[in-house]
Structure 1
Amino acid sequence: MSEPVTLEPVTAASAPLQHLVKLGRISVLVALTVLGLKYAAYLLTGSLALYSDALESIINVAAALAALIALNVAARPADDNHPFGHSKAEYFSAVLEGVLIVLAALAILWEAGPQLLAPGPLQLPPLGLALSVAASVINGVWATRLIGVGRSARSPALAADGRHLMSDVVSSVGVLIGVVLATLTGWHVLDPLLACLVALNILWSGWHLMRESVGGLMDAGADAQTQTRIRELLAQHGEGALEAHDVLTRTAGQVTFIEFHLVVPGDMTVSQAHGICDRLEEVLEAEVPGARVTIHVEPQEKAKHSGIVVL
């Protein structure tokens, strides 16, 4: 008869999650600041491309607010209704951000279509150009920060927000270069054409975000490197056991759930088997960030001879 050995549920929000919530609040302020700068640049220049850039910033504000709400929910401790915690809330934010990005791209294409057929002249006052450059610099610095923290803390919401902002920076730089060229050369069609290119870039970014986030909601397993490392740890630190099989993983935000069956000699006591489980849990927690481990202990006759042989 198997003996499930699990970690205790988390009872309080962790300090790292509280730090992520603070970053989420700053993201909202940054998004509002950038929106103001870009919209002012559009008003000064009348550029459709800069308008599309400002429109995407409205989506950035909405996405930052969604990410902040999701991070607050994810930081809640486990409870009776959610014994595994609330970490999946971040994926809902990332999916919503992807949807908002797609809507922004469609709105830009709607505005740019008529202008492609009848482009108008542009003005490029230095102040408008400077405001757009300043907005891009702020976005670039903050996007780099969010991507770095999102990856290290394994936060889907922050990582998605950072990647979205970085795609915004890339498109903004392209827009600025194009608007300058359109003004200098008189090829005014470059302005709506660049707006369309920005929209296509936004669509690609939105699709990428939604694909990754839906994978998290569908309980996608850990990446191949993590799964290989888990198997190595089981083989190296399972002394006293015979094999481990049916190793399953799934990710939920910062948490990686690991489950497997551990086969031990039939005459081993419960206390001895529990000691092996404790050792494996400690190793997995140390090597796999956010690991939550469930081990099913089985007697020797349950061995499949096709799992991980303990060294």
Structure 2
Amino acid sequence: MEDSNTVGRLALWSIPLALFVMGLKLVAWWVTGSVALLSDGLESSVNVVAAIVAFAAITYAAKPADKTHPFGHHKAEYLSAVLEGVLIVVAALLIVMEALPAVLAPTAIEAPALGLAINFAAGVINAGWAFLLIRAGRRHRSPALSADGQHILSDVVTSIGVLIGLVLAIATGYPVLDPLLAILVALNILYQGWKVIAHSVDGLMDHAVEAGEADAIKAAIAANGAGSLGVHDLKTRRAGAATFVDFHLVVPAAMPVGEAHDICDRLEDAIRAVQPGAQIAIHVEPETEKAHGERVRVAPPAEAAS
């Protein structure tokens, strides 16, 4: 619950911060007339929408499981992340639409020093917030928060490109460099948007946990499955902050139900020690059943004790 509260607070604060940064960038465009600064401001307007969507998705994903969603609402974050990726692509297209006419008819930049200073300040704010969101998203396994951070980071890349373009345009006396660099930045944003969409769609497809996490789960099963004859058909999947683990536990045919249940309890505790909050489903079956899927050998009682 504490993790979800932290994620929710960060997502909420992203909204006023996105509005403030957008305001700074639009002021920078207003004082300079730079098409690159306008394109940067347009991307920030998309950031505002993305922040609102991320907050709504994170709030919904934190709802407990109910009758119609017995496995919880975790995947709502992936839907939000996919939408954020789409919005990043939209921002890139908006930039191209603004930049292309300026390539054909470039205009001189007014009050460049003031515009650069304002845009630089907006970029510094965005950079700090982006790294905070990405780090928190990874720590709390929040796809929506991570996607929001990646989105803002793409905005930082845009700002850096815009600043370089304006400096070059002013230094060389070729104002056409301003919209040309805006287009190059838009191409990079398209790539960032594709990465966000691909990662989120992968999550919607029930991607297994990372290799290191899977190895830790197998080690926990192997070390704490004494009394059973082994485990097979081990499956894992990740849904937002939730981890699901499913496997078949093979026991001697004559083992009492109570003993098999004790082994299951021990395995669940061991798995949750390496994968906190994991939702675990164990199917107990007699040794006469044919094994299938991935197998995990468990340590015999003497080996487990040592």
In the alignment, the residues of structure 2 paired with residue 295 and residue 126 of structure 1 have an alpha-carbon distance, to the nearest angstrom, of: 65
In the alignment, the residues of structure 2 paired with residue 18 and residue 81 of structure 1 have an alpha-carbon distance, to the nearest angstrom, of: 24
Q: Alpha-carbon deviation of 1:303?
A: 4.9
- Map of 1:105-144 to 2, 5 A cutoff? 105-144=92-131
Q: Tell me the alpha carbon deviations over residues 246-267 of structure 1, each in whole angstroms, 9 at most, x when there is no partner.
A: 1111111000111000101112
- Quick one: higher RCO (CA 8 Å, sep 6+), 1 or 2? 1
Confirm or deny that 1:307 pairs with 2:305.
no
| TM-score, L = length of structure 2 | 0.94
Say what the alpha-carbon RMSD is for the aligned residues: 1.3
- Map of 1:168-187 to 2, 5 A cutoff? 168-187=155-174
SS of the residue 2:233 aligns to = strand
1:265 to 252, 261, 264: 252
The residue that corresponds to 2:55 in the other structure is 68
Does the aligned pair in 2 maintain the 1:101–1:202 contact within 8 Å?
A: yes
Does the aligned pair in 1 maintain the 2:230–2:249 contact within 8 Å?
A: yes
Q: Alpha-carbon deviation of 1:59?
A: 0.8
In the alignment, the residues of structure 1 paired with residue 7 and residue 298 of structure 2 have an alpha-carbon distance, to the nearest angstrom, of: 39
Does the aligned pair in 1 maintain the 2:161–2:182 contact within 8 Å?
A: no
Confirm or deny that 1:32 pairs with 2:19.
yes
In the alignment, the residues of structure 2 paired with residue 237 and residue 47 of structure 1 have an alpha-carbon distance, to the nearest angstrom, of: 65
Does the aligned pair in 2 maintain the 1:263–1:298 contact within 8 Å?
A: yes
- Describe the shift of the 1:202–1:179 C-alpha distance in structure 2 as closer, same or farther (beyond 3 A): same
1:253 to 206, 226, 240: 240
SS of the residue 1:183 aligns to = helix
- Map of 1:171-210 to 2, 5 A cutoff? 171-210=158-197
Does the aligned pair in 2 maintain the 1:20–1:71 contact within 8 Å?
A: yes
Stretches of structure 2 lacking an aligned partner (at least 5 in a row): 300-306
Q: Alpha-carbon deviation of 1:108?
A: 1.2
Question: Which deviates more, 57-66 or 231-240?
Answer: 231-240
Does the aligned pair in 2 maintain the 1:124–1:180 contact within 8 Å?
A: no
Structure 1 ranges of 4+ moved more than 4 A: none
Does the aligned pair in 2 maintain the 1:52–1:108 contact within 8 Å?
A: yes
The residue that corresponds to 2:139 in the other structure is 152
Count residues with an aligned counterpart. 298
- Aligned amino acid, residue 287 of structure 2: Q
The residue that corresponds to 2:218 in the other structure is 231
| TM-score, L = length of structure 1 | 0.92
Q: Alpha-carbon deviation of 1:33?
A: 0.6
The residue that corresponds to 1:163 in the other structure is 150
